[in-house]
Amino acid sequence: MPQPEIPTAAQNLAEVRTALARAAGLAGRAPSGVELIAISKTHPAEAIVPLLAAGQRSFGENRVQEAAGKWPALRGLFPDVRLHLVGQLQSNKARDAVDLFDAIHAVDRPSLVTALAAAMDAAGKRPDCYLQVNIGEEPQKAGCAIADLPALLAQARDAGLPIVGLMAVPPAETEAAPYFALLAELARRHDLPGLSMGMSSDYETAVMLGATCVRVGTALFGGRG
Ligand SMILES: *Cc1c(COP(=O)(O)O)cnc(C)c1O
């Protein structure tokens, strides 16, 4: 029996793009209004290059140090890459994060706002920022409490952070749609245009509910082992 062929990263990319365009179309949205962020955490440069070669330019990492090891060289080859930090950020890494990333998706506490504001002033560079909301109010999860969002947003705006939207990771093992809808409602209430939501298992749902960027790892790269 012939072995089933393992799809290449470029084939996965084409499939995800098709699914994204279909979901956007159903919602009456332009596919160009959704940024596909390829989450390349744990994957080496050899796994990333095929996606770059296929035209993918937005990538996401969850650790500053890992990104600092991989991306400067890749960026030398593909200077128009847009790099997103999607994982938790320690305040003492704020300067490295500001230097390396074009967008930071996990701003979730006052001390981090202060550290990022100082880092941006020092670097003379202001990456887009998303406030991360603990949308399921889960004790172990990152993100600010829903009740704390107005104060954190006010502090971030006062500090000069370019807050473009909200980000969340809904509770696992449950229907994500209500959480996506709630995040979209919070963004609307605060006049924030950006919505960073949706991963491999639910990015189509997220797009139908208004996501402006989806963070997709496994569906593009395969499992992280
Ligand atoms: C790893 C990760 C993703 C991608 O998850 P997949 O299920 O592999 O698509 C998205 N967002 C965040 C914050 C992540 O850490």
**Nearest alpha carbon, ligand 1 atom 7:** 200
Distance 61 CA to ligand 1 centre (A): 9
Residue 5 is predicted with a pLDDT of: 72
Residues with CB under 6 A from ligand 1: 39, 41, 62, 86-87, 169, 199-200, 215-219
Ligand 1 atom nearest to CA at 86: 13
Q: What is the CATH number of domain 38-221?
A: 3.20.20.10
Residue 3 is predicted with a pLDDT of: 66
Eight-state DSSP code of residue 92: G
pLDDT digits (tens, 9 = 90+) for 50-73: 999 999 999 999 999 999 999 999
| Long-range contacts of residues 70-74, Cβ cutoff 8 Å, at least 24 apart | 70/40, 70/44, 70/45, 71/100, 73/45, 74/45, 74/48, 74/49
Distance 211 CA to ligand 1 centre (A): 15
**Nearest alpha carbon, ligand 1 atom 12:** 86
- Tell me how far CA of residue 88 lies from CA of 1, 6, 13, 167, 217, in angstroms: 46, 32, 26, 12, 17
Ligand 1 atom nearest to CA at 106: 13
Which secondary-structure segment (H or E) carries 114? helix 110-123
- Tell me how far CA of residue 92 lies from CA of 63, 112, 140, 184, 207, in angstroms: 13, 9, 22, 31, 34
Give dist(CA 191, CA 174) in Å, integer: 28
Give dist(CA 205, CA 177) in Å, integer: 7
**Nearest alpha carbon, ligand 1 atom 10:** 215
Distance 18 CA to ligand 1 centre (A): 20
Residue 2 is predicted with a pLDDT of: 65
One digit per residue, pLDDT tens: the chain, 225 residues?
666 677 788 999 999 999 999 999 999 999 999 999 999 999 999 999 999 999 999 999 999 999 999 999 999 999 999 999 999 999 999 999 999 999 999 999 999 999 999 999 999 999 999 999 999 999 999 999 999 999 999 999 999 999 999 999 999 999 999 999 999 999 999 999 999 999 999 999 999 999 999 999 999 998 876
Residue 49 is predicted with a pLDDT of: 96
Distance 122 CA to ligand 1 centre (A): 30
Distance 4 CA to ligand 1 centre (A): 26
Residue 6 is predicted with a pLDDT of: 74
Distance 39 CA to ligand 1 centre (A): 6
Domain ranges of the chain: 38-221
Residue 224 is predicted with a pLDDT of: 79
User: Which residue, chain included where needed, has tokens 């969340």?
Assistant: 168
Question: How long is the chain?
Answer: 225
- Tell me how far CA of residue 222 lies from CA of 40, 41, 60, in angstroms: 10, 12, 15
Give dist(CA 156, CA 34) in Å, integer: 25
Q: What is the 3-state composition of the chain as percent helix, strand, coil, each rounded to the nearest 5?
A: 45, 15, 35
Distance 80 CA to ligand 1 centre (A): 22
Ligand 1 atom nearest to CA at 200: 9
